[in-house]
Structure formats: C-alpha cells, structure tokens
Amino acid sequence: MASVSPRKIIAVVPAAGIGSRMRADRPKQYLRLNGKTVLEHTLNLLLAYPQIESVILGIASGDPYLSRLPLHDNPRILVVEGGRTRAQTVLNCLKKVDDAQAWVMVHDAARPCLTHADLDKLCRIKDDNGAILAIPATDTIKLADGQGQILRTEDRSRLWQAQTPQFFPGGLLRSALEQAALQGLEVTDEASAMELAGYRPHLVAGRGDNLKITRPEDLDLAEFYLSKRQKEVL
C-alpha cells in the first residue's frame, strides 16, 4: 500500500435518504447487491481500510432496516439520527466527533464500488482545503432553462463531476456546514460548504466505476463491477 498520512480519520456515511428515484419498496441503501445490502458493501469497504478508525452512520428516524443487518451492533460504527437534508445528517454526525484534530471522510451510502487505492490518493492531501474524489466531464454539457430548453453548451474542459468520499478536517467542515445553515444556503455536498467558507478543495481524479446508485439500472451496473473485482481477486 502507498504511504499515507497517520492522521486520525473518521468516516461519515449519511444514509437517511429514501432514494425515491429507485422506485423500490425500501431505501436504496437497503437493496440487495451480490448477497448483501448496498449499505453493507459500503460499510465493509470503509471498515477494511486501515486508516479509518471508526464510522459514524446517519440514518432516518425510525429506520426499521438497520437492525436487521449483521453490522448493526459493530462497535466501530456509531449510529446517529439524521436530518431532513444530507447536510443536516452530516452535521449531526460531525457533532459526535470528539477529537478536534480528526479528519473526516464523508462517503455516500449508495457508492459501494469505492476502491482503497482511491482512498490512498485522498489521504495524501494534507492542507486544510481538503479534497474530493471527482472525474473530469467527458460528455457534452448543456445548460438549460426552466422549460428544459438549451441556453448554451458549457466548456467541459474545466468541469468535473463530484464523487465521494470528500475529505476535510472535521472541525472546519462542521463550522462550514453550520455557517451555511445559518445563512440559509443549501449545499448539496461537503465541498460546497467548504467553498462558501473560502476554501478551495483539491480535485483528486477518481474512477468511473465509483458510481452512486440512483436509478434501477445502476444496481445492475454496480453488481457487475463488484463481481468483476471479486473474480480479479480470486
């Protein structure tokens, strides 16, 4: 394994959403994938990374599914009640981080195909700007109006598609999210909050197969990627 930072790292996994676009009978993180739920795959890969000390998992109030999973009572997983939005859920989790010097690695519950090699690359970032995994835009990007008609074609040469994990000093990220909330600003990822606070997070090139399961067809694609990796290991 590549040389990585000895900093204390805590993973934060917001998993309080319902994933309505999946049109399933349960939140997408609890759908089955290669014999396990999506959430189990995600938690297992984070817990298996040596630099991650523990995981803080944010779930919906009254979640009936987590208690059915083998990992629900893992001593390295702290379960926290999430909020109405992703930002609120992440903030609730950050309030449970008791080490002011710890860094946090926020990762989507529905990204089960992350690799440890990409985590190694993130952990090389040492300045307070932090970093996120992302991939350069390869498709032509259109800006639309409210009626769904094209206003213009964007220059994709400087556009990146944000992924997770997103990796920041925990105290700074908490402050950034709190300030965004006080100002009534809606942030869709942690980097957005850091940007609003004046930081310039690094973009670390990730992999295209680190997909976020959003639509039904994504589940089949994730199953393919995970099966392929298992065969490569064998």
CATH of the domain at 124: 3.90.550.10
* Tokens at 115, concatenated: 């690799």
Residues in the chain: 234
Q: Answer yes or no: is 2 within a domain.
A: no
Q: Rounded CA gap, 182 and 189, in Å?
A: 16
- Give the H/E segment covering residue 191: helix 190-196
In eight-state DSSP terms, residue 78 is E
Provide the pLDDT for residue 234.
Answer: 43
Q: Answer yes or no: is 30 within a domain.
A: yes
Q: Are 113 and 219 in contact (CB under 8 A)?
A: no
Q: Answer yes or no: is 1 within a domain.
A: no
Q: Answer yes or no: is 199 within a domain.
A: yes
Q: Rounded CA gap, 10 and 182, in Å?
A: 25
Interstrand relation of 52-59 and 9-15 (parallel, antiparallel or unpaired): parallel
Q: Answer yes or no: is 113 within a domain.
A: yes
The stretches of 18-101 forming alpha helices (DSSP H) are: 38-47, 86-94
Q: Answer yes or no: is 71 within a domain.
A: yes
Q: Does the reported pTM lie above 0.95? A: no
Count up the domains in the chain and report the number.
1
Q: Are 168 and 201 in contact (CB under 8 A)?
A: yes
- CB neighbourhood size of 115 (10 A): 15
- Give the H/E segment covering residue 53: strand 52-59
Q: Answer yes or no: is 64 within a domain.
A: yes
Q: Rounded CA gap, 43 and 152, in Å?
A: 41
Torsion of CA 209, 210, 213, 218, to 10 degrees: 0
Q: Rounded CA gap, 83 and 86, in Å?
A: 7
Tens digits of pLDDT across the chain (234 residues): 444 447 899 999 999 987 777 778 899 999 999 999 999 999 999 999 999 999 999 999 999 999 999 998 999 999 999 999 999 999 999 999 999 899 999 999 999 999 999 999 999 999 999 999 999 999 999 999 999 999 999 999 999 999 999 999 999 999 999 999 999 998 999 999 999 999 999 999 999 999 999 999 999 999 999 998 876 654
Q: Answer yes or no: is 3 within a domain.
A: no
* Enclosing domain of residue 229: 9-233
